[in-house]
Amino acid sequence: MNTISLAHGNGGKMMEDLIDNLFLKYLNNDIINKKDDASPVPEIKGVPVISTDTFVVDPIFFPGGNIGKLSICGTVNDLAVTGAIPLYLTVGFILEEGLPIKHLEKIIISMAEVSREANVKIVAGDTKVVERGKGDKIFINTTGVGMIGDKLKLSDENIKLGDKVIINGSIAEHGLAILMERNQMDFSTSIKSDCCTLSDLIVTLLSETNGIKFMRDPTRGGMATVLNEIATRYNVGIEIEEEKVPLGDEIKSLCKILGLDPLYLANEGKVLIIADREKSEKIVDIMRRHPYGRNSSIIGTIVDNNDQQVYLKTRIGGKRIITKLMHDMLPRIC
């Protein structure tokens, strides 16, 4: 049998074989190997943090990753940016009848690799199969449980005027990589999704510095969406300096050609940080020493603003309001 059939999702013998010969072959550990419907896990000593995300990215394979790698990175990062150490993940698959089993295998191998890198255990799983035309190859939900300990945590201080906005590298890579792959453009590019797990970078940061007040991964809706959320939530204005925002040359040209604003394009390996002004240089120094932070940069400042505006100070000194995203730029980006 080379493709997924409905019988792989019915709770019977074929499903058991799929679990044993594929899922558990790669995603094995002391907990999931027991194949319980619900898995007891070691005690969580600290504040538990829970996050869920469903991945429907199209195409399922793209430069820099695939839906499996993305599904682990996405949830690990959602936990990590709260200051939590990611501990446990669950995975729920919806497979479309006809999915080649070798594609599923490739996806699962990626999930195994990246969850090992992030040091999280996959502790429970579920598989459903839908008829051809009722799904789209594969959808994956990952739900994560992490822990905020006593030692590693965000600063208790409120965000205040003068605080700095920091990012760990070039934006828009994931969104653009998906777009290029989906539309099979006539020209080739070297753009790859930035998809990676940020937990190691973040744990390093929290253990070696202080003064980090807020972190968020700017995924769907891009940096513009996260900045607007911050402005609204903390009732502040944010000024971003256009020339400070890390942006690869190729990304820059492509966005110009395609008429896309990189600020709204998705990232899957970026963390946006708000930090105390005094500490921000040190934070960037530490980030730059990490493989996922080489191009870190201070890109803006928290400013006084009654309208909770986010704006870009352009190279030529102009000011452009960065509004909330209203219309769909790219469906199924993650």
Say whether residue 214 binds its own copies (CB under 8 A): no
> Binders of its own copies among 112-131, rule CB under 8 A?
123-131
Residue 244 CB neighbour total at 10 angstroms: 15
Q: How far apart are CA 208 and CA 308, in angstroms?
A: 32
Torsion sign over Cα 321, 267, 220, 333: positive
Query: How many CB atoms sit inside 10 A of residue 48's CB?
Result: 13
Residue from 4, 145, 206, 274 binding its own copies (CB under 8 A): 145
If one asks whether residue 49 binds its own copies (CB under 8 A), the answer comes out as yes
Q: How many residues bind its own copies (CB under 8 A)?
A: 77
Q: Is 317 in the site for its own copies (CB under 8 A)?
A: no
Is residue 94 involved in binding its own copies (CB under 8 A)? yes
Q: Does 54 bind its own copies (CB under 8 A)?
A: yes
Q: Alpha-carbon distance 53 to 91, whole Å?
A: 10
Name the pairing type of β-strands 310-313 and 319-321: antiparallel
Q: How far apart are CA 2 and CA 101, in angstroms?
A: 6
Question: Applying CB under 8 A, does 307 fall inside the site for its own copies?
Answer: no
Q: What CA–CA distance (Å, rounded) separates 141 from 150?
A: 30
* Greatest CA separation for the chain: 67
Mark 226-265 with x for binding to its own copies (rule: CB under 8 A) and - for no binding. ----------------------------------------
Minimum CB separation of residue 178 from its own copies in Å reads 13
Q: Is 332 in the site for its own copies (CB under 8 A)?
A: yes
**Residue 143 in contact with its own copies, rule: CB under 8 A:** yes
Q: Does 213 bind its own copies (CB under 8 A)?
A: no
Q: With H, G, I as helix, E, B as strand and everything else as coil, classify residue 105.
A: helix
Options 4-12, 164-172, 197-205, 290-298: segment touching its own copies (CB under 8 A): 4-12
For its own copies, the closer CB: 133 or 291: 133
Give yes or no for residue 133 binding its own copies (CB under 8 A): yes
Rule CB under 8 A: say whether 175 interacts with its own copies.
no
In whole angstroms, how close is the CB of 188 to its own copies at the nearest point? 27
Q: Which helix (H) or strand (E) holds 68?
A: helix 67-80
Pairing, β 65-66 against β 85-96: unpaired
If the CB atoms of residues 56 and 284 are measured against its own copies, the closer one turns out to be: 56
Assess contact for 240 and 313: CB atoms under 8 A: yes
Query: Least distance (Å) from its own copies to the CB of residue 81?
Result: 7
Contact in structure between 143 and 74 (CB atoms under 8 Å): no
User: What single-letter DSSP state applies at residue 119?
Assistant: T
Of 139 and 292, CB closest to its own copies: 139
